[in-house]
Structure 1
Amino acid sequence: MRAIVVGAGIGGLTATLSLRRAGHEVTLIEQTARFTDIGAGIQLAPNATRVLHRLDLLDVVAAQAVRPSHVSFRTWSDGTEICRYLLGREAEDEFGAPYLVLHRADLHQALAAAVPTPSVRLNTVVVGIDQDDESACVTTANGERLGADLVVAADGIRSAARQWLFGADEAVFSKTAAYRALLPSNEVADLGLPDLALWLGPGRHFVHYRVRRGKLLNVVAVCGTEAAQESWTARAEPGEQLREFDGWDPRVLNVLERAGQVFRYGIYTRAPLPRWNIGRVTLLGDSAHAMVPFQAQGAAQAIMDAAVLGDTLADATPAEVPAALDRYVRRRLATATGMQARSARAGEEFHLPDGPEAQERNARMAAYAAENRFLPQATTWAADALDEQTPS
């Protein structure tokens, strides 16, 4: 069977590898001329790393990553620990795969290196997708038409394919923006920062963890705002991040002050869809379910999409593609849409103002942690969608 995957991000690359693993011929189309070292930190929970293991990439990825022993939730003003959850060896033993934090580019590079070069078409812009009962076809900007038995649109949050399939709708601004930076870990060694921490405060939260085998500290500082550009490369004004987090724990301010180059990007999402596929064409990853990153599951959900897509198409003939895509969507839509909603609620919880609501949140989190070793979303890690029965 022949497949075309549009978009060579994490979801598109994993889909390509999963479809190749299922025995299919895949052409991966990407509009950029080359892969670049863009992005910052990313967290991969066991549901995602289990897929990497299946693709024989876990060791390669883990060699560039850090395995945090725990995650610590803290108060914004003085760093008092609200609660902590285990992420290290205990989580790996419980869920059958590790929890990793790493640079997004390291993950992307590992995935890209596993795709044979002849299967990749860089610097190719797709301007249309059409289909009939027998095949699907993409049209490129230079007028070329490429046919296949199915097309997987992993073209990101600003997906053109989504509009071609389901009509015009726009990405939704979450009214939050994030400052992000990477700085050498040895420059903050005197601060005694935990492996992975989330500091919660009024209208803001602050996340940090080490990447690149511990050599770099990844910093994400999220705040509410009425407007922000959606860009990985837009730089913050000098000192802007310090003004936004004025009054926070001195350790937070020290990290933000020592960060050299700071970027600021608006966080956008997409409204949930009742379906992702029509005929021989389906969405995958952010094009289907872009979410705020407050449960650290955006990339993981795209990786899970790709794994389940490969599973449902493993034994399908070209004639069976539409029915197989229906099964793929039935297996993934509810989980991914639920994670969208939980991520949005987590952001609201993280940003509660000081007072009774925040105190109640902290007490609830501490009580849950006293009874449970792992994060509440660990139920998602444990649900092995790779082995579950496809619902009718």
Structure 2
Amino acid sequence: MRAIVVGAGIGGLAATLNLNRAGHEVTLVEQTPRFTEAGAGIQLAPNATRVLRRLDLLGAVAAQAARPSHVSFRTWSDGAEICRYALGHEVEDEFGAPYLQVHRADLQQALAAAVPPESVRLDTPAVGIDQDDGAAYVTTASGERLAADLVVAADGIRSAARQWLFGADEAVFSRTAAYRALLTADDVADLDLPDTGVWLGPGRHFVHYWVRRRELLNIVAVFGTDTATESWTAEAEPGEQLRTFDGWDPRVRGALERTGQVFRWGIYTRAPLARWNVGRVTLLGDSAHAMVPFQAQGAAQAILDAAVLGDCLAGATPAQVPDALDRYVRRRLATATNMQARSARAGEDFHLPDGAEARARNARMAAHAAEHRFMPVATAWAADVLDERATW
């Protein structure tokens, strides 16, 4: 069976690999002329790394990643620890796969290297998708019309395919933005930072974790704002991050002071959909369920989409594609939509003002950590893993 995947981000690459694994011929079309390094850190929980193992890619990704020991939640002003959770071998023992922290480019490179080169068409913008009873079609900017038995639109948060399928629907600004930067291990050697840290404060939070074999520290400083551009490459004004995080713990300030190039990324989402597919065409990843990153599950959910898509299409004939896509959406839509909502709630919880509400949140977090080794979001890792064991 023939498939076309539109978009060579993490979701599109994972979809290509899983469809190939299911025995289908895949053409991956990507508008950019080359795979380029974009973004910075990504956290991959066991629900994602189990899929990488299934694709025989876990070793390649892990070789470039960092394996955290724990995550520490702290207060913004003095860095007092609220609670901590295990992320190391305890996670792997419990969920059957490791928790990894990787540079986005390293993950993309590992996925891209596994895709047969003859399957990839770079510098090929898609300008239209349509279908009839027997096939689906992608029209390229050059006027070529590519035909296949199904089309997977993994074209990101600004998905044109989503509008072609379901009408006008714009990305939604979350009223938050983030300063993003990478620091070397030497840059922060004297700061006494926890292995992975999440610092909570009024209207802001600060996250740091290691990537690239612990050679680089990824920092993400999130803040509320009325305006921000959704861009990986927009730079902050000099010193802007220090003004925004004025008065924070000296370790946070120390990290922010040592940044060189700082990017200012507006965080956008997409409204939940009642369905992702029409006939022989389906959405996948951010085009279907873009979410705020406050549960570190955006990339993982796209990877899970790809795995379930491949599973549902294994052994399918061209005539069975619409029903197979229905099964894919039934298996994934509720889980991804719930994670969208969970991530949004986490952002609200992280940004509570000082006072009774923040004290109650801290007490609740401490009480949970006293009884559980893993973060509350680990219930989702467990559900995904159990679903995989039951159906794969």
TM bin, normalised by shorter chain, reads: over 0.9
Distance 1:154 1:128 in 2: 14
Q: List aligned pairs for 1:146-161, cutoff 5 A.
A: 146-161=146-161
Map of 1:120 onto structure 2: 120
Percent identity among equivalent residues? 81
2:388 corresponds to which letter in structure 1?
L
Is 2:205 the partner of 1:182? no
Is 2:14 the partner of 1:14? yes
Map of 1:43 onto structure 2: 43
Distance 1:141 1:207 in 2: 40
Give how far 1:79 is off. Answer: 0.4
1:386 corresponds to which letter in structure 2?
E
Q: List aligned pairs for 1:173-322, cutoff 5 A.
A: 173-322=173-322
Map of 1:81 onto structure 2: 81
2:355 corresponds to which letter in structure 1?
G
After TM superposition, where is structure 1 displaced by more than 2 Å over at least 4 residues in a row? 384-390
Give how far 1:382 is off. Answer: 1.2
Distance 1:389 1:114 in 2: 24
Is 2:388 the partner of 1:386? yes
CA contact (8 A) 1:178 1:264 kept: yes
1:70 corresponds to which letter in structure 2?
H
1:250 corresponds to which letter in structure 2?
P
Q: List aligned pairs for 1:39-78, cutoff 5 A.
A: 39-78=39-78
Is 2:367 the partner of 1:367? yes
Map of 1:324 onto structure 2: 324
Distance 1:17 1:195 in 2: 33
Partner SS, residue 52 of structure 1: helix
2:233 corresponds to which letter in structure 1?
T
- Provide TM-score, normalisation by structure 2: 0.99
Distance 2:140 2:356 in 1: 56
> Per-residue CA shift, 1:169-208, capped at 9, x if unaligned?
1000000000000011111111111111100000000000
Length, aligned pairs only:
390
Distance 1:186 1:238 in 2: 22
Distance 1:184 1:377 in 2: 29
Give how far 1:374 is off. Answer: 0.4
Partner SS, residue 102 of structure 1: strand
1:50 corresponds to which letter in structure 2?
R
> Per-residue CA shift, 1:20-60, capped at 9, x if unaligned?
00000000000000011111000000000000000000000
Is 2:198 the partner of 1:164? no
Distance 1:316 1:372 in 2: 42
Partner SS, residue 63 of structure 1: helix
Partner SS, residue 85 of structure 1: strand
Distance 2:321 2:220 in 1: 41
Partner SS, residue 174 of structure 2: strand
Partner SS, residue 182 of structure 2: strand
> Per-residue CA shift, 1:222-263, capped at 9, x if unaligned?
000000011100000000000000000000000000011100
1:19 corresponds to which letter in structure 2?
L
Distance 1:215 1:277 in 2: 42
Distance 2:150 2:268 in 1: 28
Partner SS, residue 28 of structure 2: strand
Map of 1:341 onto structure 2: 341
Distance 1:13 1:92 in 2: 25
Is 2:98 the partner of 1:133? no
Distance 1:328 1:30 in 2: 23
CA contact (8 A) 1:311 1:386 kept: no
- Provide TM-score, normalisation by structure 1: 0.99
CA-atom RMSD in angstroms: 0.8
Give how far 1:389 is off. Answer: 4.9
Map of 1:143 onto structure 2: 143
> Per-residue CA shift, 1:118-151, capped at 9, x if unaligned?
1000000111111111110110011100000000
Partner SS, residue 246 of structure 1: coil
Distance 1:11 1:240 in 2: 33
Partner SS, residue 190 of structure 1: coil
Give how far 1:388 is off. Answer: 3.6
1:355 corresponds to which letter in structure 2?
G
2:276 corresponds to which letter in structure 1?
W
Give how far 1:386 is off. Answer: 2.5
Distance 1:302 1:37 in 2: 19
Distance 1:275 1:139 in 2: 23
